[in-house]
Amino acid sequence: MKNNSPKRITFVVGYLSAGGAERVISLLANALVASGYSVSFIYLKKKEDFYRLDKRVNKHYLDISNDSNNLIHGLINTRKRVYKLRNKIKQIHSDIVISFMTDLNVLSILACLGTNVLVIVSERTNPYRSKIPFRWKIAARIFYRYASKLVLQTERVKEFYKYISASKLEVIPNPLKEIGKIQTKKEKVILAVGRLEYPKGYDMLIEAFSCSRAKEEWKLIIAGEGRERDKLEQLAVEYNISSGVNLTGWQESIDELYARASVFVLSSRYEGFPNSLAEAMSAGLPCISFDCDFGPAEMIRHDVNGILVEPGNVEKLADEIDLLAADESERNRLGRKATEIKKELNLESITLKWENVFFELWNS
């Protein structure tokens, strides 16, 4: 840590649920603590953390409800939340406040207005497809320009925020979760990881698998949980491949699945930043991905370290699955090149990018 670097970093969260943004926050917070920063968390709700935080992280709970019956009630609640958040930020003498979700970003900016506290907000979703309430989209449009920095995950997302000064925009991808090295035999398994929701496109993946020759000898494993479970299970029955499709639910650790699988597929209709794709590549899996917005094309160089498929082209996805399923040497070649992503997205490198933002703001 440099001499003029800020010492007190505060993360504002709803609570640490099992989401991708929360995973990144926990990894970053633990890394900053290890580097000598004083790190605090301000929780709006008091719930058990899904991700483990270093015991040196200071925790503060506001226990503020987000529920509002109508617009007027919502404005009153927002004012209360901003007031309490502002007081807590002052109380713990924060140098920099960081938040990752749109509503929390707006609250954090409002809470820090008129203070000397620097506020860094980050958008973790695809802004063109985000389904956050309209009022928060409008609020973000108004107040994001008052943030010290807006951190985005991909270069292509920057185009959406062209109304904000370019000097305030920073692209920092997600850090990789360390994948455990498990010695196990590779199996004829095609793996997908993520929520069982419409954006993940698992209906298209199941259809592609049903059209492939690989279905005769390979298994399709989808690790995740969500509202589309029943629909996806019914699709597998309709395509007469239910015996070859396994929806495993959430896995506390999917390292073993990465170790067992021989091919990884990302079938998303759209993404913010596909963590599972980065993890699979770092684990040495040959990866096939729809070239959807945003993220895959910034990780995969087609036919070099993975395969990109035209978005929504189920027939082509089935063809690429068959090609990799039939060619072990090609799987090995792509898998070896895929692991190079670890050089770009390891936690140490990503933490340094965040620290560089701190230094820039602190010394400006």
Distance (Å, whole) CA 41 – CA 61: 8
Enumerate domains of the chain plus CATH numbers.
8-175+346-362 (3.40.50.2000), 189-343 (3.40.50.2000)
* Per-residue model confidence (pLDDT) at position 66: 56
Token pair, residue 40, equals 């605090």
- Residue 177 — very low, low, confident or very high, per pLDDT cuts 50/70/90? confident
* Per-residue model confidence (pLDDT) at position 75: 63
Token pair, residue 347, equals 């936690």
Q: Where are the alpha helices (DSSP H) in 244-327?
A: 255-260, 275-282, 296-299, 314-325
The answer on pLDDT for 71 being more than 60 is no
Predicted model pTM: 0.85
- Residue 127 — very low, low, confident or very high, per pLDDT cuts 50/70/90? confident
**Of residues 275, 2, 299, the one with CA closest to residue 156:** 299
* Per-residue model confidence (pLDDT) at position 18: 77
Residue of 317 and 137 predicted with greater confidence: 317
* Per-residue model confidence (pLDDT) at position 219: 98
* Per-residue model confidence (pLDDT) at position 67: 56
**Of residues 219, 220, 236, the one with CA closest to residue 228:** 236
The answer on pLDDT for 73 being more than 60 is no
Mean pLDDT computed over 235-248: 97
Mean pLDDT computed over 7-11: 95
Distance (Å, whole) CA 191 – CA 221: 5
Token pair, residue 247, equals 């929806």
pLDDT digits (tens, 9 = 90+) for 273-298: 999 999 999 999 999 999 999 999 99
